[in-house]
Amino acid sequence: MYLAVVEEIKKTIVSGHLSPGDMLKSESEMMKEYGVSRMTLRKSLSLLSNQGYIYSVPGKGNFVKKPDTDIYQFRFNRYDNLLSKVDRIKLLAVTVNTASKDVTDNLLLQENGRVVRVERLVYSDEQAVALEIVNTQYIPNTPVVEDRINFANYANDLDKKLAFGKETFGLTKELTIKVVRADEDICTKLSIAPGEDVFEISEKIMKQDDYSPLTYSLFYIRKEYFMLTAKTPEEDASKKIF
Amino acid sequence: MYLAVVEEIKKTIVSGHLSPGDMLKSESEMMKEYGVSRMTLRKSLSLLSNQGYIYSVPGKGNFVKKPDTDIYQFRFNRYDNLLSKVDRIKLLAVTVNTASKDVTDNLLLQENGRVVRVERLVYSDEQAVALEIVNTQYIPNTPVVEDRINFANYANDLDKKLAFGKETFGLTKELTIKVVRADEDICTKLSIAPGEDVFEISEKIMKQDDYSPLTYSLFYIRKEYFMLTAKTPEEDASKKIF
DNA sequence: GAGTGGTCTAGACCACGAT
DNA sequence: TCGTGGTCTAGACCACTCT
């Protein structure tokens, strides 16, 4: 029933009777028009709001929203997004050392702060296709960190658990993708020609409440082995909303 | 009040009393526990559901969801995402011709189908930094298409309006980003060395209901002029949901 | 059949904007 | 002051799952 009302309202919007910025009829009017109770109507309205069709201003009314069609969504995971199957991950090194400027800035460390640095090489088709560097602030005697060092040869899910325990909720992540000229170290490890370009994907994991950084990772990928596909968010929200 | 209940429930989840897959107390129990009515409690639950904390199974109960932390979101717009300001857009050509294989596949055309092809060069700092190719199915005498040709030297918003009229709602878009070796044509137009790599961003705009393609665009960008930043979706849904 | 979540209702009080 | 949307309530019926 509330879904039917949603469709009705969508029609009046899309069919052009209403344009962005226009006000919808008041809720009491719409209750009569569609023959539903207030709560039911409001359920419809909030669904429309979630789908980006409308927004409401307390004391004034509900308005048609200009749709934001420039938002995209994608799924990314360091090991699952390469263009060919990962068949081996090799642990290169686990070190505790002074952070570089880049790492210091991103992890908001003190000057000369120390970090745990885990370096891994990702193989596909017997070839090294990606180099992964995970930096975590080093806090001596923290079980999490010590564990992280001990088990650093395991990757992926286990990695996350070790780093954050049960804190899988309440995290925000930020990803930056660009193309950079590979430095000597990367060229050697990925066995590519000097001066070649590679993808650089940096991933920063932060706490959601105060944005304090937990890890800062760099992922260098041979450019033929990565591409990204993103889509406009689904409208399927309908099923999730209530 | 319902927000307070949300916080309460989050606590019981995050503090580890509940793990993914576990069932929450029944709604009637929680009503008593938090001293709220059914509708209020359900408002809290649907908020939690939207934020990805829980899901519910009719006839059984509400369950803690394993958070999907691999979803990212970003905003993209052909002209607003370059690393430097766009100061000029030059229309190179508007042609009606037989579609290439790639275009035919993506627009689901008949064999030897014809398309309107609009080609533009994007300038920044007096340099050509990106080449844009927009393909739309050619349907003779369709006002939309004819207008598109007439006004093809205008870009961005106007472009969208001409192509889709009031249909700004109900569209889905798909983006693919990769790095490819520039062909001769691109090298000339962007004045880069032969064999250099460029970003290739393809954008396919479809109708949301039947996924029928409307336009298929290719965007070639000099690799120094583009990078992408994406974030985990906000939890701010709270404000949007009701 | 008992318990669960999904939906809907009629009525109430509030904070807010416009006048 | 009046109309608007935001919130909350108590009670009802339904379809579903489990035993």
Length A169 CA → C2 C1' (Å)? 35
B175 lies within 8 A of chain A by CB: yes
- The answer to whether the beta carbons of residues A136 and A115 sit under 8 Å apart is yes
Q: Which nucleotide does the CA of B37 lie closest to, via C1'?
A: D9
Distance from CA of B209 to the nearest CA of A (A): 10
Angle at CA of residue B238, ends A18 and B63, nearest 5°: 120
Q: Write the single-letter amino acid at A212.
A: S
d(CA A115, CA A100): 9
pLDDT band at A168 (very low <50, low <70, confident <90, very high): low
Torsion of CA B4, B5, B11, B13, to 10 degrees: -150
A83 lies within 8 A of chain B by CB: no
Residue B198 bridge partners (DSSP): B180, B222
For helices B38-50 and B2-12, angle between their N-to-C axes, nearest 10 degrees: 60
pLDDT band at A137 (very low <50, low <70, confident <90, very high): confident
More confident residue, B228 or A87: B228
- First-residue to last-residue Cα distance in chain B: 13
pLDDT band at B152 (very low <50, low <70, confident <90, very high): very low
For helices B38-50 and B27-34, angle between their N-to-C axes, nearest 10 degrees: 110
pLDDT band at A181 (very low <50, low <70, confident <90, very high): very high
d(CA A49, CA A26): 15
Mean pLDDT: which of B36-40, B50-54, B113-117, B161-165 is highest?
B36-40
> Which distant-in-sequence residues (6+ apart) come within 8 Å of A157 by Cβ?
none
DSSP B129-193: EEEEEEEEE--TT-HHHHHHHHTTTS-HHHHHHHHHTTTTSSEEEEEEEEEEE--HHHHHHTT--
d(CA A113, CA B172): 46
A179-195 mean pLDDT: 96
The answer to whether the C-beta of B183 is closer than 7 A to strand C is no
- The answer to whether the beta carbons of residues B187 and B196 sit under 8 Å apart is yes
Chain A residues whose CB is inside 8 A of the B7 CB are none
Chain B residues whose CB is inside 8 A of the A49 CB are 240-241
Widest distance between CA atoms in chain B = 72
B111 phi, psi to nearest 5 deg: -60, 140
More confident residue, A236 or B36: B36
Residues B241, A71: C-beta atoms closer than 8 Å: no
Chain B residues whose CB is inside 8 A of the A178 CB are 226-228
Tokens at B140, concatenated: 């003779």
pLDDT by residue (tens digit) across A60-116?
Answer: 999 999 888 889 999 998 888 899 998 888 889 888 899 999 999 999 999 889 988
- The answer to whether the beta carbons of residues B221 and B201 sit under 8 Å apart is yes
